[in-house]
Chain A
Amino acid sequence: MLTLQFIPYADIDRLSSEKRIEKLLKIVKDEKIILLEGKLRAEEEASLIQRTMEEISKSFKGIEISPLNVHRKEDMAFFQKIKGRLINFLLGSRQGLTIIGPATIVKEIRQDPDKIELFTTTARKRK
């Protein structure tokens, strides 16, 4: 069975970067796919990869992660861009969606500017 867990941005908003990563990693290690409202900061993504590497074991092979932007940059008005950048700088981004899943379940997340495809491994393969 495939479990998707939605995490609203409000759930991680007040957490430190370390706590955010800890929370996300715990859910992924429970073999759930996270749909996170918003995006992590670039530094948080790097820390998530570092923490993931520390946790790699026979049963946990790592993660697949992919953010999805709701608005394409060229569609945004100038002031929206400035506002977006300021929010990104201060709080990380609330816009868009980030998919994070365990590599044992999510084989690949393929994205291009207009679509996102999630490829999962078959249940038999996982066992």
Chain B
Amino acid sequence: MINVFKKFLNRFFKDLFKEKGQVKLGLYGPPNGGKTTLANKVCKDWLGEEMGRASKVAHETREVQIKEQITIKRDGKELTFSLVDTPGIATKIDYEEFIKSGMKEKEAKGRAKEATKGVIDAIKWLDDMDAVIVVLDGTKDPYTQVNITIIGNLEARNIPVLLVANKMDLKKADLKHVQAAFPQYEVIGISAKTSEGIDGLYEKLFELRKKALKRKK
């Protein structure tokens, strides 16, 4: 009975958002690509507060985090969406890697356990997304299975996607290399840390929302 009621409420709120034309925008990608740094940048710019803690150690975000009612205003246009920051998706997690980062064994094991759960949750949430920004580390090899699996799953679900190559402020960053890896997608270069390319990203979000609303109809 409780489940039926929960389902009814879920459907009710889903329909409510649909009517308002609000979309759920997910941030997906491998660990340490800069998803939370980007989420913080967006939230700081438009809500005045950050979303979560970013760190150089992988799997800092181990739970799905949501900020509702973010409104971007540009050239007289308005765009309201919910931003969903997800844990980085990985095919392997080794607690010993956390120990190498200076953690105690118990803490490292706990972090690894939470990280595995985070990956499972991030994949489960895919079905709830209306549009997704895939945040790739522009300094790293883009031909990884995690990147291919994420993009393949979005394609299979017909979820509109925007690819961003992050960390463009770093010397090693190579936007052309990322673009060459995914020629069928538009890839834009940004630095969530220094705000480079962020205006271009906000511009693209309007297009992404259009596609998301078209898919919802």
- Contact indicator A103/B141 (Cβ below 8 Å): no
- Let me know if B116 and A42 touch, CB within 8 A: no
Interface size on B, residues (CB 8 A): 24
Say if the beta carbon of B200 comes within 8 Å of chain A.
Answer: no
**When the two chains form their complex, are residues B116 and A56 in contact, meaning their CB atoms are under 8 A apart?**
yes
Contact segment of A4-12, A16-24, A60-68: A60-68
Flag if A110 contacts B141 (CB, 8 Å). yes
> Which residues of chain A come closer than 8 Å to B12, judged between CB atoms?
none
Within 8 Å of chain A (Cβ to Cβ): is B119? yes
Inter-chain CA distance A65–B91, complex, in Å, is 8
**Contact in complex: A64, B153 (CB < 8 Å):** no
Partner of B92, one of A62, A66, A112: A62
Q: Is A3 part of the binding interface, using a Cβ–Cβ cutoff of 8 Å? A: no
| Cβ contacts under 8 Å, A30 to chain B | none
- Determine how close the nearest CB of chain A comes to the CB of B36; give it in whole angstroms: 20
Task: Label chain B's interface by main secondary structure.
Answer: helix
CB atoms of A45 and B93 under 8 A apart: no
Most A Cβ at <10 Å: residue of B90, B91, B123, B141: B91
Decide if A75 is an interface residue (CB 8 Å cutoff).
Answer: no
Q: Which of A42, A46, A61 contacts B93 (CB 8 A)?
A: A61
Give CA–CA (A109, B141) in the complex, Å: 11
Q: Helix, strand, loop or mixed for chain A's interface? A: mixed
Interface size class of A (residues with CB under 8 A): 20 to 34
Give the nearest-CB partner of B117 in chain A. Answer: A53
- Determine whether B126 belongs to the interface, using a CB cutoff of 8 Å to chain A: yes
A99 to B91, CA, bound (A): 13
B89 lies within 8 A of chain A by Cβ: yes
Chain A residue contacts of B126, Cβ below 8 A: 46
Closest 4 CB pairs of A and B: A62-B92, A42-B152, A103-B92, A53-B116
Q: A63-B92, A67-B145, A110-B143 are in contact. List 15 more A-B contacts (CB 8 A).
A: A42-B152, A42-B153, A45-B145, A45-B152, A46-B149, A49-B90, A49-B149, A52-B91, A53-B120, A56-B93, A64-B92, A65-B91, A65-B145, A67-B148, A110-B141
